[in-house]
Amino acid sequence: MRIAFYKLFIVSLPVLLFACRKDKLMTYNAGDNIYFQYKVGVDSAANQQGFIDDTLDYTFAYSPDNVKDTLFPIPVAVTGEPVNSDRVYKVIVDPHASAVEGTHYEWPALVIHAGRVKDTLYMRFKRTADLRKGKVEMTLHLMPNENFATNLPFILAHSIDTIDVLHLHISLSDVLTAGPDWDIYFASYFGTFSEKKMRLMNEVVGLPLDFWATSSMNSAQVAAATYYATAMGRYLRQQALSGNVIYEADGITPMRMGDDYQ
């Protein structure tokens, strides 16, 4: 087994070295090119730098009702050396986008400021009523102009994964979703996911609307989940005993917590 591992490592090493070398060449030795540098998984407190991604999913569902828009930062970077004047760059939106300029989003000035090789595109996302029914989408395309080329179609986010850094797909919504880890961490406390249940728990027991937006649970989160599930289970029982059964959105299914919190 150990011999097999060593063989695998020796075979993989040239690939990894090539990947690192390719990333460096593409990023620093490619002239004046522009690319998106949007990252996910960034956690400064845990010293996690994150990795570049080409998909951005934003929801207003975690925001208070009085929040009507937000400025979302999208990092943009250029190769080559900084210059002592502002440089305008060009972005277009895919013509098939369901997101509408002026309705769902607004543009800022598209500028790499003097002395910089990294800057930020602050897009204003708007919280419209239709986002409660589903998401709208668009894809941003960086285009060449008199200041920048676009000869970096891909960059390596990991040793084996390439990311399209000239295009950024954006989806906007105002809908709460379970996310990929609901069944792993949260279903045992809160039962089957529903937006109605989560919003009611937010009102009744103070469950934060982003409580389940995590890929793990520490001891404090386990204690909090136990409290929220216990308190909400008690509330649902009290309502049922008083003749006010709380149903899910279908009007038929009684709202329930996890099996241990009924």
* pLDDT of amino acid 3: 38
* pLDDT of amino acid 257: 97
> 45-78: string of b/e by CB count within 10 Å (b at 16+)?
eeeeeeebbbebebbbbeeeeeeeeeebebebbb
Average pLDDT of the residues of the chain: 85
Q: What is the pLDDT of residues 209-243, one digit of tens each?
A: 889 887 678 899 999 999 999 999 999 999 999 99
Q: What is the pLDDT of residues 116-162, one digit of tens each?
A: 999 999 999 999 999 999 999 999 999 999 999 999 877 766 556 77
DSSP character string of 216-246: ---HHHHHHHHHHHHHHHHHHHHHHHTT---
Region of residue 9 (phi > 0: left; psi between -120 and 50: alpha; otherwise: beta): alpha
Region of residue 55 (phi > 0: left; psi between -120 and 50: alpha; otherwise: beta): beta
Percent of the chain past pLDDT 90, that is, above it, reads: 68
Q: What is the pLDDT of residues 43-78, one digit of tens each?
A: 666 666 778 889 999 999 888 889 999 999 999 999
2-173 maps to CATH 3.40.250.10:
no
Segments making up each domain of the chain, as ranges:
2-173, 182-261
**Minimal CA–CA distance to 165: which of 13, 68, 60, 30?**
30
Tell me if 119 sits within 8 A of 112, measured CB to CB: yes
Q: What is the pLDDT of residues 5-44, one digit of tens each?
A: 333 333 333 333 333 333 443 444 558 999 999 988 766 6
Q: Which helix (H) or strand (E) holds 247?
A: none
Report the alpha-carbon angle 40-42-43, nearest 5: 150
* pLDDT of amino acid 44: 65
* pLDDT of amino acid 25: 39
Residue 5 backbone dihedrals phi, psi, to 5 degrees: -65, -45
* pLDDT of amino acid 153: 77
Q: What is the pLDDT of residues 80-126, one digit of tens each?
A: 899 999 999 999 999 999 999 999 999 999 999 999 999 999 999 99
* pLDDT of amino acid 156: 63
